[in-house]
Amino acid sequence: MCGIVGYIGPDQAADVLLAGLRRLAYRGYDSAGITVVGDEALRTVKRAGKLDRLEAAVRETPLVGTIGIGHTRWATHGAPTETNAHPHSDCTGRISIVHNGIIENYQALKAELEAQGHVFTSDTDTEVLAHLIEREFKGDLAEAVRNALRLVEGSYAMAVVSQDAPGVLVVARQHSPLIIGHGPDAYYVASDVPALLHRTRRVTYLNDGDIARLTRDGVSLWGKDGSPRAPQIVTITWDVSAAEKGGYRHFMAKEMHEQPSALVDTLRGRLPASDQAAILSELEMTREELQKVGQVILIGCGTAYHACLVGEFALEELAGVPARAAMASELRYRDALITRDTLAVVISQSGETADTLAAMNRVKEMGARVLAITNVVGSSVDRAADKAIHTNAGPEIAVASTKAYTTQLSMLFMLALAFGEARGHLVPERARELRAAMRNLPEQAAQALAQEDVVNACASRFRGAHGALFLGRGANYPTALEGALKLKEVSYIHAQGYAAGEMKHGPIALVTPECPTVAVAVPGRVYDKMLSNMQEVRARGGPIIAVGVEGDHDLESYADAVIRVPRTEEVFSPLLAVLPLQLLAYACAVDRGLDVDQPRNLAKSVTVE
Ligand code: AGP
């Protein structure tokens, strides 16, 4: 999730662009850059690291001009270096472009362009756009952009300027947000409202397929079918703080509701529409190598450890490969049975968790091959792994991890599918069914997240609670643990996640009317056992909130309240069942008036032991 800005007006563009980028820093900032169109040439300054490094560089290299574009990067392809920072240019240096999104077919396009003599300087997918526009440019920049984008598959919000198109700034949008700001005597471009609110509240939200040309005289806009249309202008009423949260009260709420789009972005290009085998190019493991893996050990902390537990179940279920989850803080001090045929899957949103890094280094020393699943390109975990799969969830600001967790699960499901198909554990027809079910998950997640009224009503049951129990079995035992962790860390209510079958071995002593129980009771091989466990709790006066699927009306007789999620494959159900539990934890924290995004005693990334 990068941030782009653009400006055309009477003021010096550099100042306007930097002010806009400062207001987009929450979208990620591993590098940044701006291009200003001068009288003689385009001038570009870019730096790795945070924005203040770019601002210092611009102070040393004054950029004169009143048209420009800028970018703050959250790397998805290519390490966060100065070379990979945006803006990117073509061979001649007369075209400069910034982009937020993922060009899925960039490798094929890059090979074609290189064969035609184009010389690339970065590892990014974005640079392909600059060279495509260079090749298509015949004097009309908007036309060149339109022709170039016809060849592109993927997502983009982009802005481009050219020395050969003076006084013109062209933008385009597909799947990544982009808005145009209409000032009294200037026009602005931004990924998000906060970047331009200090200049104007009158904006046009571009639609997928839109291309627009901005000049000092106005905005020309063409829709997906190429037909011109008048820009629809709306007035923003939010303040800046609300705008950074997308209008939500907290980052946690924004990030919970970003999960459907984060899943789309994470699965993009990895789960093709046609019935091909699951593509995990980052894995770079041949069929034979996948077959030779003797065991998989999944390593993480906190929520990432819970993802490891989901992965353990999925790998055994779909791939028939021995798998076990390990808490990094424990594994780092154990003589774990790591052999050369061990694949270590290291999961970390931040990629900087000290315990996870230590455990990772230990298993590497013992000969394991390491695959990372991380949300931060260029993080320590990313760089230390043999291979890495990036969850394209965008920056996760709230301490409580939500969209990182569900996108981690989606990648673990893809990994299990890849293993299952390579090892012949999944027959083609079953693999096709599972891939079809995966394609539905983003939309189903959106449906599951639309339960706030029901969830808020359930949250009132936790007022005055002496504690809470979260019960789950099989695929959803980790869901119970994750639900309990979410409630603990944002609402400070003591909550225990437990394997429901273990209740009779002690925890059932905790059951009282003041101790609500949340039971994950979605269809699966242990559904009936879950109903029995719920009866055990109810018989002792414990209030029960059940998470079940739409259409399952038996649950009403086993629970005091039921929150419903769409039906999916049992092995995928943890991804949907966790969503109401996230909402519940959030509702309880808000109900208690707590600092939801920054809970006491906690840090977003635990970089110390
Ligand atoms: C989850 O909500 C917590 N913030 C915490 O458990 C977190 O998952 C854990 O610290 C691991 O962080 P990582 O994924 O960045 O390694």
Distance 409 CA to ligand 1 centre (A): 14
The residue among 243, 276, 292 that closes a domain is: 243
Q: Collapsing DSSP states into helix, strand and coil, what is residue 254?
A: helix
Q: Which residue has the higher pLDDT, 269 or 151?
A: 151
Are 133 and 268 members of one domain? no
Q: Could you tell me the pLDDT band of residue 373, with boundaries at 50, 70 and 90?
A: very high
Residue 476, domain member (yes or no): yes
Q: Name 517's bridge partners.
A: 469, 544
Local structure of residue 228 (DSSP, 8 states): B
Question: Average pLDDT in the 400-405 region?
Answer: 97
Does residue 259 have a pLDDT over 90? yes
With a pLDDT cut of 70, the percent of the chain lying above it is 97
Active-site positions read 2, 604
pLDDT in tens, 513-536: 999 999 999 999 999 999 999 999
Does residue 378 have a pLDDT over 80? no
**Those residues with Cβ within 8 angstroms of residue 245's Cβ, 6 or more apart along the chain or in another chain:** 251, 253, 254
- Average pLDDT score, the chain: 92
Q: Could you tell me the pLDDT band of residue 175, with boundaries at 50, 70 and 90?
A: confident
Does residue 383 have a pLDDT over 90? no
For residues 125-152, one letter each, b for 16 or more C-beta atoms within 10 angstroms of the residue's C-beta and e for the rest, the string is bbbbbbbbbbbbbeeebbebbbbbbebb
The closest-lying atom of ligand 1 relative to the alpha carbon of residue 404 is: 14
Task: State both tokens at 278.
Answer: 């699951």
Question: C-alpha 116: how far from its chain's center?
Answer: 35
Our mutation pick for probing the ligand 1 site, out of 353, 376, 408, 609, counting the most ligand atoms within 8 A of Cβ, is 353
Contacts 24+ apart (CB under 8 A), 195-199: 195/3, 195/5, 195/20, 195/21, 195/23, 195/24, 196/5, 196/20, 197/23, 197/236, 197/238, 197/239, 197/240, 197/243, 198/19, 198/23, 198/240, 199/16
Task: State both tokens at 135.
Answer: 């090749």
Residue 248, domain member (yes or no): no
Our mutation pick for probing the ligand 1 site, out of 332, 349, 377, 396, counting the most ligand atoms within 8 A of Cβ, is 349
Which pLDDT belongs to residue 2? 81
Which pLDDT belongs to residue 599? 87
Nearest CA among 559, 564, 494 for reference residue 530: 559
Which pLDDT belongs to residue 134? 98
Which pLDDT belongs to residue 335? 85
Our mutation pick for probing the ligand 1 site, out of 401, 479, 606, counting the most ligand atoms within 8 A of Cβ, is 401
Q: Could you tell me the pLDDT band of residue 279, with boundaries at 50, 70 and 90?
A: low
pLDDT in tens, 282-320: 777 888 888 999 999 999 999 999 999 999 999 999 999
Residue 605, domain member (yes or no): no
Question: Average pLDDT in the 385-392 region?
Answer: 92
Which pLDDT belongs to residue 295? 96
Are 24 and 74 members of one domain? yes
Phi/psi region, residue 178 (left: phi>0; alpha: psi -120 to 50; beta: rest), is beta
**Those residues with Cβ within 8 angstroms of residue 96's Cβ, 6 or more apart along the chain or in another chain:** 35, 42, 44, 69, 87, 88, 89, 130, 160, 161, 162
Are 444 and 459 members of one domain? no
Q: Is 426 exposed, middle or buried (0-12, 13-18, 19+ CB in 10 A)?
A: buried
**Range scoring the smallest mean pLDDT among 223-237, 358-372, 466-480:** 223-237
Q: Please give the tally of structural domains in the chain.
A: 3
pLDDT in tens, 41-55: 999 999 998 889 999
pLDDT in tens, 184-211: 999 999 998 889 988 999 999 999 999 9
Are 581 and 440 members of one domain? no
pLDDT in tens, 570-599: 999 999 999 999 999 999 999 999 999 988
Residue 415, domain member (yes or no): yes
Distance 58 CA to ligand 1 centre (A): 36
H or E segment at 441?
A: helix 428-448
Does residue 275 have a pLDDT over 70? no
Does residue 9 have a pLDDT over 60? yes
Are 300 and 233 members of one domain? no
Are 556 and 466 members of one domain? yes
Residue 342 beta carbon below 6 angstroms from any ligand 1 atom = no
Does residue 498 have a pLDDT over 90? yes
Distance 563 CA to ligand 1 centre (A): 26
Does residue 95 have a pLDDT over 70? yes
As a whole number of angstroms, the distance between CA 302 and CA 404 comes to 12
Q: Could you tell me the pLDDT band of residue 464, with boundaries at 50, 70 and 90?
A: confident
Residue 400 beta carbon below 6 angstroms from any ligand 1 atom = yes
Are 197 and 63 members of one domain? yes
Question: Average pLDDT in the 360-376 region?
Answer: 94
Are 328 and 374 members of one domain? yes
The residue among 414, 432, 448 that closes a domain is: 448
Residue 252 beta carbon below 6 angstroms from any ligand 1 atom = no
Provide the domain limits for residue 548. 451-591
Residue 606 beta carbon below 6 angstroms from any ligand 1 atom = yes
Are 398 and 355 members of one domain? yes
Are 153 and 86 members of one domain? yes
Are 74 and 30 members of one domain? yes
Are 545 and 530 members of one domain? yes
Residue 598, domain member (yes or no): no
Distance 582 CA to ligand 1 centre (A): 14
CATH of the domain at 96: 3.60.20.10
Residue 609, domain member (yes or no): no
The residue among 243, 274, 308 that closes a domain is: 243
As a whole number of angstroms, the distance between CA 71 and CA 199 comes to 18
Residue 407 beta carbon below 6 angstroms from any ligand 1 atom = no
CATH of the domain at 330: 3.40.50.10490
Question: Average pLDDT in the 488-511 region?
Answer: 94
Residue 431, domain member (yes or no): yes
The closest-lying atom of ligand 1 relative to the alpha carbon of residue 356 is: 16
As a whole number of angstroms, the distance between CA 212 and CA 536 comes to 63
Residue 604, domain member (yes or no): no
Distance 350 CA to ligand 1 centre (A): 8
Question: Average pLDDT in the 123-142 region?
Answer: 96
Q: Could you tell me the pLDDT band of residue 492, with boundaries at 50, 70 and 90?
A: very high
